Structure 1
């Protein structure tokens, strides 16, 4: 039984890795479009920083966070390279007196960070990846036919992990632009998250990564062009969150399109109209955090679908 995963970002690569590890024959079709969210993602794993407590995502976020240490070790053993998983996030808020001079620091050791490009590379090591855009999906008696820019493909089952482009396949997903700055050096800087209190104070974040010091992030519009206002805001966040490093040269201005659903919850389910197609998309700004749990749930759906088709 062959499975094609459409989309090779954080979610698609985690799914492909998990399916292959379960013994399935897997191919990834990736359009490699500019604006893919994982290329601009921070890699912070922080339910607390993302204010998920009390939301429908909180339990899933905690469960997926607990999976990350073992998932990271498996990726590294499989891909032969580090994904730069580091435990601990420092949360910095305003003091009880409401003064900027009274920061309240809280370290959350069970949270963490990683490097999304390294995760994708490790997960796809050894997996057949074809750079081609999928134009249409059509069910047939043996599964699914895929029309792509590289010709026709057939698979027993397809997993759609197409992120911000999922609307092209009849899914209620829109794109939301996020921007971040990557400053040179300071790769050992600890992950820290500014927490707003009563709508005031810090609300950016920064973390050292192997490619530099990441400062983020905005959520504004859906255009593919950099937003000048967003860049000014990010400069302010650098001066506020990492003042000792704010004058470092900008190595890159990162931009990605997050996939957003109407209710803000990921879509992990059979496609509503296409048989033999499983959907894994709509993770918004939580793709890195939710990737291991999403991959586990997709594997269960794939096994169930293949059993029913047998």
Structure 2
């Protein structure tokens, strides 16, 4: 595929390089990709089926968990099949429209997951700080409304960035050193001024994920204050236990995520293949580990899994 340099002609087709510098290892790298992807699909699908099929789990916390599991299916599906096609068949060619569509699903799903984690923190805050008003505050109608707001926010904040990309003329290299399209790398292949794109990207991160982190931190400060003011040690232990799995998922989602964003934007001295591997690991790890965390830490889900796989045979 030819590469054009400042000819005034905009590329409409790009080539995903995979893991730059490790092209000869693509077949081996595909193995953990494939296993992680299949395992995350099975784990999250099982989680959704358990929550939907068991009436006892039709509560706000499990509804939010079901939404999180759905997002954990969409996110790796937006990336891993394309990556496997590169690893197995060297099929890295992708059109500009497909590249932007992939970007849309990746970024909107990230923001959606962040919003769901915030809703889960809000759920725990109400359950621990206002237990007697839990069912009157978190009604079905209210849950549907805030879930729709989170969904609309994820799409609404990403759409303008997509249009900002569509206006650019891509007349530099058409080689993308990654397994998936990334906004910052694609924008830097343009010959146009991309300052608006960069600043809008910063605005989106600050107004969604950073804001969510701050609100989650405030929620847990209030939760911890309420827990340590409980007179019963058993009540404190139970309250902390109900928050444990959520805290693990929060750390797993935001910790590597912010590190990946920082390396993509500022880690110019980091080897390209390390940046790509870190970014892919961040995308693969949460969908893989979230069902395991909730399966181990949440007794109701753990009991349903044991009943499903071991009790039926008796």
Q: What TM-score does the superposition give when structure 1 sets the normalisation length?
A: 0.30
Q: Indicate the structure with greater helix content.
A: 2
Q: Indicate the structure with greater strand content.
A: 1
Q: For the pair shown, which has the larger CA radius of gyration, 1 or 2?
A: 2
Q: What TM-score does the superposition give when structure 2 sets the normalisation length?
A: 0.30
